[in-house]
Amino acid sequence: MPDSIDILRFATAGSVDDGKSTLIGRLLVDSKGVFDDQLEALEGTSSSGENKGIDFALLTDGLRAEREQKITIDVAYRYFSTPNRKFIIADTPGHVQYTRNMFTGASNSDLAIILIDSRKGVLQQSKRHLYISWLLGIKYIIVAINKMDLVDYDQKTFDFISRDFMSITSNLFIEKIDFVPISALKGDMVVQRGNKMPWYDGPTLIEILESAKLNIIDYEGSIRFPVQLVNRVDNNKRKDFRGYMGRSLSGKISVGNEIKILPTNKTSKVRELILSSKKVKEINFYDSGTILLEDEIDISRGDMFSSIGNEPQISNSVTANICWMDEKQLGIKKKYLFKHCNKISKAIIKKIIYKVDMETLNQIPADNTLDMNDIGQVDIVLQNKIVFDSYSENKNTGSFILINTDSNNTVAAGTIL
């Protein structure tokens, strides 16, 4: 494998029966991401289907309840590789009540594929998928117009749906949108081009996925390094070792760098860096490293190292967009746990500014609560000051979850404005 091979994480979104599972099955089978014995095991359970009797959905619907009800209940992660890239698919269910699953899948994705049934065109649900992708900062969207075999591979249908989709993106800024006509069932324009759509001279779906450029902005920004764990070692190899472990969430950290420790506002200098059990000169974006400082300072989990200048915000109140994910509705002024950048604080939702009508995507009054699968904008007050950036500046330092203190469930996820 070449050293340059990297990982692309993408989410797939589609309405019920848009053929999402079929598409994922097709990608896995045609790129050899699934083994023969796994396919043979399916042939026994599948009743119909065109591909050698295989129902691709049975490959991805991993739970018995899903296979029985023929719907996808929960986010599943699937893996396949081409010679140039490893892919991680967050397969998110298209059911109306499962907004939270799309939110979840999109949170860890660089790109989203929105599926549209060529016979139905752009639906309300397509708008919802676009909206959630936008809200979670996905910068690259592929609109896969599926079931082209059922509209005689008609170019006009493809052109019409593409234009229609562009018209709904007007208020939502997405850096790049590509359109591709496919038949997941027959395989056209997914991995193989097929010979049914000579009028389309753009790349196949897999070619788009292979060449999509990832956002590298975070490599160059100001340092963001939340302390995850303090490692104290005192043995015959290392005397009085005190290392700050964590993952770099932005910027490059070099030996000798002046850094600021927040929220205490102290400064120090980087004395030594360790990465993958070796001494190194620098730690880059997303590295899980260990930092040793020149000075002895009281630092604990949840403190943030930053460059001096271009520092993150510090506050005990934030405004955020949240997706409510629990059956028990949001309680205004109830205490929740707010987990953000390795730190847990008590929090209260002081005010719901508005909620989003998922049919029209308009902002509407929220009557002081949010139900499961509602998305809304809220003011949150925290017990302690937190160190953060806005989500649009940095996904990692601008995201949080809320935990119910009684059930311990994750009840909401949010992005800080």
Residues binding other proteins (CB under 8 A): 1-7, 32, 35-38, 59-65, 73-79, 81, 86, 88, 100-101, 103-104, 107-108, 228-229, 231-233, 235, 237-238, 241, 245-247, 274, 276-277, 286-288, 290, 301, 325, 337, 339-340, 342, 395-396, 399-401, 403, 408-410, 413
CB of 150 to other proteins, least distance (A): 28
Q: Which residues pair with 411 in a beta bridge?
A: none
CB of 309 to other proteins, least distance (A): 27
Q: Which is nearer to other proteins, 74 or 207 (CB)?
A: 74
CB of 366 to other proteins, least distance (A): 21
Q: Are 376 and 352 in contact (CB under 8 A)?
A: yes
Q: Which is nearer to other proteins, 160 or 241 (CB)?
A: 241
Q: Which is nearer to other proteins, 249 or 352 (CB)?
A: 249
CB of 410 to other proteins, least distance (A): 5
What burial class does residue 342 get, using C-beta atoms within 10 Å of its C-beta: 0-12 exposed, 13-18 middle, 19+ buried? middle
Quick one: tokens of 69?
């009800």
The closest alpha carbon to 388, from 354, 339, 337, belongs to 339
Q: Are 141 and 177 in contact (CB under 8 A)?
A: yes
CB of 32 to other proteins, least distance (A): 8
CB of 121 to other proteins, least distance (A): 31
